[in-house]
Amino acid sequence: MAKEPVRVLVTGAAGQIGYALVPMIARGIMLGADQPVILHMLDIPFAAEALNGVKMELIDAAFPLLKGVVATTDAVEGCTGVNVAVMVGGFPRKEGMERKDVMSKNVSIYKSQAAALEKHAAPNCKVLVVANPANTNALILKEFAPSIPEKNITCLTRLDHNRALGQISERLSVPVSDVKNVIIWGNHSSTQYPDVNHAKVQTSSGEKPVRELVKNDEWLNGEFITTVQQRGAAIIKARKLSSALSAASSACDHIRDWVLGTPEGTFVSMGVYSDGSYNVPSGLIYSFPVTCRNGEWSIVQGLPIDEVSRKKMDLTAEELKEEKDLAYSCLS
């Protein structure tokens, strides 16, 4: 029996990330090679023509799993019946703009999109927020879509997680698939904390801790962390455009693991609603190590946290509290 199609919404679908993401979804990279999909692409009226061009290309690519395309600038039409929503659209910070200006624009975007999802999405819709400030945009969305369970609203830190895996893989000259269990704690910003204290590498003689193999704490506690934190800026400098391909790929990884489960013994990083685990204040969307099964994520519990890590985890939580206060001040 063929599976029923899953309706996947991508907002900002005519943009760089959207253009990289929609063919990945249509090819089965997000939900599996046997899962038909109907793509809902939403963008602003200004991008309507470009959006139609993306729709034409999707049709021309003749993806066997793609059972329909909705390309629209109407939020209600875009959100109706969707099972998965990937929120890529947002207002980017432009030169000379204050944080509050960017926040205020994004608060109004996420407030209105939350209202459309709240009324029109399928029950139990899973939401992934990609647009920055991702953690705080996700918090606003949660606020204005109260009937979507809080466990179903997440933000993307898998890109940072994958960047950390990539740096370790390059450093040790091993396949990236042999590295696992790095953690991104906190905000998808330059205060995030990429943590390798629990990370392992598969070797011919079994799994070994990353620290033991790298044998260079100065690099792991310094350059490694700043490279991961500032990778987005480095890509903008090189490409003159932001990281679209890697963001799209990691959005697929995030949803795939959430829906289909993480491999046994492996955890990944997801921005999720804090329940107070690891003394992170509840009420923030904060990146934690999680495992997934049966479509549900759970925070990995009981990992030992050293003093250096504690300080870095608290620092990024502090930034998230400030962002939350700023966002709420834009609402009033």
Q: Which residues are catalytic?
A: 188
CB 263 within 8 A of CB 253: no
Question: What CA–CA distance (Å, rounded) separates 51 from 42?
Answer: 8
> How far from 29 is each of 54, 128, 184, 251, CA to CA, in Å?
18, 16, 23, 10
Strand 200-203 vs strand 183-185: parallel, antiparallel, or unpaired?
Answer: unpaired
Q: In degrees, to the nearest 5, what angle opens at C-alpha 123 toward C-alphas 119 and 129?
A: 75
Phi and psi at 185, nearest 5°, equal -100, 135
Residue ranges of E strands in the chain: 6-11, 37-42, 66-72, 84-87, 126-129, 153-155, 179-180, 183-185, 193-195, 200-203, 206-209, 268-273, 285-293, 296-299
Tokens of 67: 């059972």
Per DSSP, what are the bridge partners of residue 128?
Answer: 86, 154
Tokens of 85: 């929503």
Closest CA to 31 of 255, 247, 250, 262: 255
> How far from 268 is each of 78, 133, 190, 221, CA to CA, in Å?
30, 20, 19, 20
Closest CA to 169 of 160, 158, 161, 178: 178
Residues in the chain: 332
User: What is the biggest distance separating any 2 CA atoms in the chain, rounded to whole angstroms?
Assistant: 59
